[in-house]
Amino acid sequence: MARTRGTEKGRSSYGPSGLVARAFGRLGRAGGLVFLLAGLLLSGWGGYQGAYLAGWAGTHGTLTVERCEVSYPNNASRSSRKNRRPVRCEGTFVSDDGKSRDPEAAVRVRQRFAAGTELSVQQTDPPSTSGASDADYAQSSTGRAWRWFGAFFGGWVLTGLGVFCLATGYAPFGRSRVSYDAAWEASGRGVTRPVVLGMLGVGVVGAGVCVLVSYFV
């Protein structure tokens, strides 16, 4: 009898069902790691872009347009043309404090501007050497900055889901070895649940507020 129970136990641990269960347990934590890394990347990139577009980082100044050229690829689809910033405007950049001047500045924008138009831009990366023409610029936009800040908070949601899956082994996709109810109960035994709820709450509210504000600025 004991041998039978031992055999059944061995089958449950090492048979096909046991292997599948362990595989999906690892899949849950692997998925959690993906969510975590994706959330951190999204938050970092959103904060980086938003800070420059809002004028909180880099050097703010004015680019006086000399010429603008459209750079649509021949095989670009209509949707990609709509979403890209295909116009390259070149001219002279002068910082607000007058200490930085670049006669070969260029910035990507969505529309053509007439020669002599002054664009509010942010120098995101200064020239590598004195006299070099490899500086990077972005057109200042408060609305776009707030949308990037929305992406920053959206990354908190992905990070929170990643923490939950890593801590509990729950896989939010496909077949999961750990049920959602069991994972939720396990998360309440320590600090996992408060951390996850806090990150999800801050992420959802923050992203919603940022997107809403972007339509009014």
8-52 residue pLDDT tens: 444 444 444 444 445 445 666 788 899 999 999 999 999 999 999
User: Would you place residue 99 in the very low, low, confident or very high pLDDT band (cuts 50, 70, 90)?
Assistant: confident
**31 in any annotated domain:** yes
**12 in any annotated domain:** no
pLDDT at residue 11, rounded to an integer: 45
**87 in any annotated domain:** yes
Q: Which residue shows structure tokens 């609305």? A: 143
pLDDT at residue 3, rounded to an integer: 47
CA nearest neighbour of 28 among 164, 169, 173: 169
Of 4-13, 142-151, 176-185, the one with minimum mean pLDDT is 4-13
Q: Are 118 and 62 in contact (CB under 8 A)?
A: yes
Q: Are residues 167 and 197 in the same domain?
A: yes
Q: Are residues 135 and 151 in the same domain?
A: no
Percent of the chain with pLDDT over 90: 51
**164 in any annotated domain:** yes
In angstroms, the CA 111 to CA 108 distance is 9
Question: For the chain, how many structural domains are there in total?
Answer: 2
Residue 140 has pLDDT above 80, yes or no: yes
- Domain coverage including residue 170: 27-51+145-214
Q: Are residues 69 and 118 in the same domain?
A: yes
